Structure 1
């Protein structure tokens, strides 16, 4: 069904504008709107050079987001380094993170079967080696899952900060009030928190259908009492659109 999303408005609330996903939604007959509720900014500190030198000699560099990759690569280029200067292997959580690394010249040696940090800590030790020296490249809101869940020492380097983006809050409130068939896609607990703090008090959670990418995001939505209709097994934006499309087709056939 080429027009599975006809009459639906799909709102994406993440940090990065996913052009291919917006195009996909439109190709399915839906209206696609980008309303980022969070934004990220690289953290630049005086010890960045020292941190980069440490990163060059660790056994593993670990990345769990595209934002971490981009900030790390910005620092790397600013200090005239290339991927060839780094001796260790690279682990990534998620295909988007892995693709971003490869686009910047890194080879990804490990990625968990489910794109989640708690699955990473279960699967990574089997291939990490004996007492590996690891550096987790992260944002300021990253949870301590890796540090707590891995038996060996994991050093951390915060390379970007996540902030609330309130510039879209009013337009999002108006969208929810106006659109009859609205689907909100959340890709992180941080975006859920912003919605809960600034949008939900005005319009609640039940005026739109909700999609979650990842069980951590879904759990955060459940914390606020929101019902999640779409939660794909694969934690990607592509998968959530496919899940929406699949359920829409099933409902159409039943009707």
Structure 2
């Protein structure tokens, strides 16, 4: 039987605890092993007042734009906690990426706009020509979300309400163990799935001796924004996914193995 492409390789996965499984299963299906090092936890917002206020007038918005599956989950959970019926959500819905759209559809909601490029800039490109000045937009997002989307929407003449649907907090519980794995050359590659995981990685691992810990370790990023953050923080990025999804990230790791052009080097 032929050897699978990631046989004998262990990949450190830095997603939150609730999101590790999907990436781990893909890596393991290709013969690899995963070491889960969750660096972020998603929790309800410290101040839910702005979200609650927006939800209580949800029918007044022309658009609700979701930038992550977690944003959808926390948003709908809070709607349910407040007893707000889904039928009041009459706005057109836009999603950044197929996973975000899938969570909306799983909850019986229709997605009006799904961009080909799974970042805020891709959503803006897909929305051009569909937005009208004066329309109202609700953006339920993470507390650390980039400002590109709300700023551009405001420039187009839309009225944007940006609320924290959830907070992202650091989770460095396994830092000492992760450092030991890296020191002992037990890690082939690190897969970063967001800018926040990169920032938290650097923060929790610095006491253990970066950049020496990363010698001989490949670094793969889910997209250019994550890669840019890594580079700014002094990490050498070896490959960036062309499609900004978990599958794209695994394909990028495979491209290092096979030497083909599925990933782009930085």
Q: Please state whether the residue corresponding to 2:139 is helix, strand or coil.
A: strand
Does residue 1:35 correspond to 2:44, yes or no? no
2:28 match: 26
Contact 2:71 2:142 in 1 (8 A): yes
Give how far 1:227 is off.
1.7
Contact 1:5 1:30 in 2 (8 A): yes
Does residue 1:238 correspond to 2:243, yes or no? no
Does residue 1:202 correspond to 2:208, yes or no? yes
Q: Select the residue among 131, 136, 141 that pairs with 1:138.
A: 141
1:24-103 pair list within 5 angstroms: 24-43=26-45, 45-46=48-49, 48-103=51-106
Q: Select the residue among 234, 243, 262 that pairs with 1:225.
A: 234
2:264 match: none
Give how far 1:193 is off.
0.9
Q: Please state whether the residue corresponding to 1:225 is helix, strand or coil.
A: coil
Distance in 2, matches of 1:106 and 1:249, equals 40
Give how far 1:246 is off.
3.2
Give how far 1:221 is off.
0.5
Q: CA RMSD in A?
A: 1.9
Q: Give me the TM-score of the superposition, normalised by structure 2.
A: 0.87
1:184-199 pair list within 5 angstroms: 184-199=190-205
Q: Give me the TM-score of the superposition, normalised by structure 1.
A: 0.91
Give how far 1:47 is off.
5.7
Distance in 1, matches of 2:164 and 2:35, equals 30
Distance in 2, matches of 1:83 and 1:242, equals 37
Which consecutive unaligned segments of at least 5 residues does structure 2 have? 261-266
Distance in 2, matches of 1:132 and 1:141, equals 25
Q: Please state whether the residue corresponding to 1:127 is helix, strand or coil.
A: coil
1:112-191 pair list within 5 angstroms: 112-150=115-153, 151=156, 152-191=158-197
2:263 match: none
Contact 1:72 1:137 in 2 (8 A): yes
Which consecutive unaligned segments of at least 5 residues does structure 1 have? none
